[in-house]
A and B are shown apart, each in its own frame.
Chain A
Amino acid sequence: MHKAHEIIFAGFGGQGVLSMGQIIAYAAMIEDKEVSWMPSYGPEMRGGTANCTVIVSDSKISSPIISTFDSAIVLNQPSLDKFEKAVKPGGLLLFEESAIINLPTRSDIEILSIPANEEALKLNMKRVANMILVGAFLEKRPIVKIENILNALKKVLPERHHHLIPVNKDALAKGKELVNEEIKL
């Protein structure tokens, strides 16, 4: 594994893009790693694109502002158009299947399409699509342990929402499963 892993999460506001980044940052902190989480906070957040950059590292993080990424997790077309070219060669581009019409074209990176929205509906919880993507991402790039994602959820979610942790756990497992199915094909 890399000494540092630099990730961009991008999509529309409301898709849970910032939360995905935060939950991975929390999990990394639980593992005593260095982390930074930098959100876009411009006017684009109101209905437009939102994104956050997360860096997980074994050593002190220099710049929280970066322009290329080891991994990009993308939930809409404008974000794909913007960030496909920012993935480092050999990096990972993971996207939500139904959100993308014009597919990525690079051949020097690993590209993975995950039907997260469809699978989330099957779990009767549309909102966990982002956690399916987190599960899929961590199966490809195990930068933090799934159990620490769950520990982070316990910490971040207020007590009254703790009943949602099992469905999030299922979503993470589903993401992992989808990646392994994909590889079998």
Chain B
Amino acid sequence: MDQTLELIREARLMKGNEALAEAAIRAGVQAYFGYPITPQSEILEYLSREMPKRGGIVLQAESELAAINMIYGASGAGARVMTSSSSPGISLMQEGLSYIASAQLPCLVVNVNRGGPGLGTIQPSQGDYFQATKGGGHGDYHLIVLAPASVQEMADFVFDAITLAEKYRNPALILADGALGQMMEKVELPEEGSLEYPEKSWATVGKPKERERNIITSLFIQPEKMEKINLELQEKYRRLKEEVRYELVSTDDAEILMVAYGLSARICQKTIDLAREKGIKLGLLRPITLYPFPEEAVASFASKVDFYLVVEMNAGQMIEDVKLSVNGSRPVFHYGRMGGMISSPEEVLSKVEEILETQSVSNTSTGR
């Protein structure tokens, strides 16, 4: 009995949204601004209940536009801040995110992706990949994007995203989906207080005599100055490549490489088991950082596999990054469901078998 209670204390069964929210408190987030939207409302609910008790500020803004601009202000003042929303709400935040990226401020944004376009559906989707990884708003900028694939990672990546955001003074985005937000799994929560607050000499917190005043702005009216800022940003994105993260599953002897992130990667793992029972040597590369994208890792398989299959819950978005990485040296196929529908492991396997069928036909016809 005592041992039983011990186990419960160490590991908890939590929804992804709740695990993420609890992790945010433990990561020392000082202020949360947000507006409710399914399927991520548990984040705001949990933080509203728990965070004020533990020293943080939670404010339900009048809209997502207001929330992201509160983030801009609070981050400029040196606070560790976060917001969360789901697809339509994240679209509303794009102007603010562009400003924050330009002003080079750290913050954490969470998108629990739902089906779109438009107001869409509350079911899970990966339809926001382009928006998340290509900037999303106007101008030449990128967010740092992490894609969790389990409730454990929903919690862990809060720490990772904040660390990266503060190291590079850049907004970081956790791109999850409705299923990861709503499902429960066992989670061991990161230790509270283990994430130190870095020195923020740039923050607008009063001007001591020994330095010039700090200015936080995204308005650089002279093009020479604006170009300089852009060059700085591009230099930062080049440095960011050091932070690339990905996971390999059953790739040692793989003849076909699937590339999938988040929930799709979990589905593909089951597809691997089903395929290997039939003697089909499937492997998986799971990008963990969607930006920076693990292009070298993806390319390194071109000499080892017959083809790539990108599996996403969208019409084909990450496939563009995979194709750029592979650079025409191997065929790259896509399988995806849209609008909140989720592929089953069996459907993905059927796609693999269908490609194998057509590949063998075309190989025969070309005399190979």
Contacts and interface: CB of A to CB of B under 8 A. Distances in A.
B342 to A, nearest CB: 5
A51 B4 CA distance: 28
B8 interface: yes
B344 A66 contact: yes
Interface in B101-151: 121-123
A38 B182 contact: yes
B13 A29 contact: yes
Interface in A69-97: none
Given A25-B184, A36-B183, A37-B185, A64 B266 contact: yes
B273 interface: yes
A132 interface: no
B186 A29 contact: yes
Interface string B270-283: 11110000000000
Contact of A35 (B13, B182, B346): B13
A142 to B, nearest CB: 18
Contact of B266 (A30, A63, A67): A63
Contacts of B178: 41
A63 B269 CA distance: 7
Contact of A62 (B184, B186, B269): B269
For the side of the interface on B, what is the size category? 20 to 34
Interface of A: 22, 25-26, 29-30, 32, 34-39, 41-43, 61-67, 148, 151, 155
Contact of A64 (B38, B123, B179, B273): B179
Interface of B: 1, 4, 7-8, 11, 13, 38-39, 121-123, 178-179, 182-186, 263, 266-267, 269-273, 342, 344-346
Nearest to A34: B186
Contacts of B263: 64-65
B184 A37 contact: yes
Contact of A39 (B121, B182, B272): B182
B13 A63 contact: no
Listed from nearest, the 6 A-B pairs whose CB atoms lie closest are A62-B269, A63-B270, A37-B184, A62-B270, A67-B344, A38-B183
A41 B344 CA distance: 18
A37 B183 contact: yes
A65 B13 contact: no
Contacts of A41: 38-39, 122, 178, 182
Contacts of A39: 182-183
Contacts of B4: 30, 148, 151
A66 B7 CA distance: 28
A64 B7 contact: no
A30 B345 contact: no
B306 to A, nearest CB: 23
A159 B43 CA distance: 25
